[in-house]
Amino acid sequence: MVKEVYHYQDARILIADDQESIVALVSRTLEKVFGCEASVVSSGDEAIARLSEERFDVFLTDMRMPGIHGLSLIEQVTAKWPDMHVVAMTGYPSEFPYVEVVEAGAKDFLNKPFLAAELIAKLMRVLDERRMRHELEVTHKKYRSLFDLSMDGKVLLALNGLVIEDVNDAMCTLLGKSKGELLSHDFVDILVESDRERFNLWMGICRRSGKGTIGDLQVIRSNGTLIHVDATVTMVGADGEEFVFLAFRDMTEKREVEHRLAEAAQTDELTGLYNKRSFTNRIELAVSSANESDSRLALLLIDLDNFKQCNDTHGHQVGDKLLKAVGEVINASIRTTAYDEGFRCGGDEFAVLLHKFVDGGPMVVAERMREKFEEIDNYGTSMSIGVAEFDASMNVAAFIRAADDALYDAKGQGKNTVCVAG
């Protein structure tokens, strides 16, 4: 009993044969088993004309009939309609050997006379092949749509060597490069050098698990700027080969927002200096580092003389202007891009941490700040500064106390003075 194959009902089949008994057998079998009706022509010329007018899935053709026929017909049909399956039928196998028929482009071959079961088996194979090919094409189109239209950057890598096999438009936009500039290049070349080893280690882990995620990779754009991306990976296999499927999301804006928020949490809004919380954290780290590396560290504590009087006389707007000017003086007097850090610890109290300086360096910086402050419109205020250099016998509290004692001495000596802890 032949199993019903209901999904073949929409198959479009053209029969070309001038032998009525064969046409009747094939038509009857197609209708009974496959549930589809066939179109019929009786010559090669009619077949070419019909194929030009309509779309067919399968062309069943006799090898000897009026008009164009035989290998010439098959060659012409497969050249014009390469996606269609051709099945040859003949009662003259010696004249049309199987190998030559297949080389001409036919997918299969039937020797006349043939049984209905043989016809069914051949057509099932052909139609199954077409169905699988169609499903593969649909799957590929879905993949291409998901791949190409995704707003995230997508990259397909060959597992061996991590060479770029495919990229989507979003990835090209992300990198500012064309597809041609990316294909066949090593993927790690687009990463900053410091992230390449981390990426390779991550890939080793993902090969074992089949998938994974990694955050905050830095990628180099065509103009040399850096962007931050998060990536997910899936290992995929196709035709015996293994590939790496990567998806990238641009996190640059998010990282910048996080960075600004982190800076805001550490920074005094009025002066732009680090705040008191940052001072507490950083002085502990600085003391620990100085102990471990035996490096030089100094603390300057700064107090504005007569600031309360200035506020009472000129108002808080002038007071805020003055505090902002202190921040500018401190930043202009220290190495902000290297070893030194300025802080507003509250009200009119400020601090500076100096790292890795030469003999006398802290005193030079303190005097520089005091003199710069004298040069501006300071509304009758001045700077008193206490300086202490860290030594291994101190903890954080003792270090701060030494600078605070020096500041007290500076105040006691008439203000607008720098004193060094003895």
Instruction: Provide the annotated active-site residues.
Output: 348
C-alpha dist (Å) from residue 258 to 169, 254, 261, 385: 28, 6, 5, 35
Q: Which two tokens stand for residue 176?
A: 């500012």
d(CA 40, CA 277): 90
HEC-encoded secondary structure of the chain: CCCCCHHHCCCCEEEECCCHHHHHHHHHHHHHHHCCCEEEECCHHHHHHHHHHCCCCEEEEECCCCCCCHHHHHHHHHHHCCCCEEEEEECCCCCCCHHHHHHHCCCEEEECCCCHHHHHHHHHHHHHHHHHHHHHHHHHHHHHHHHHHCCCEEEEEECCCCEEEEECHHHHHHHCCCHHHHCCCEHHHHECHHHHHHHHHHHHHHHHHCEEEEEEEEEECCCCCEEEEEEEEEEEEECCEEEEEEEEEECHHHHHHHHHHHHHHHECCCCCCECHHHHHHHHHHHHHHHHHHCCCEEEEEEEEECHHHHHHHHCHHHHHHHHHHHHHHHHHHCCCCCCCEEEEEECCEEEEEEECCCCCHHHHHHHHHHHHHHHCCCCCCEEEEEEEECCCCCCHHHHHHHHHHHHHHHHHCCCCCEEECC
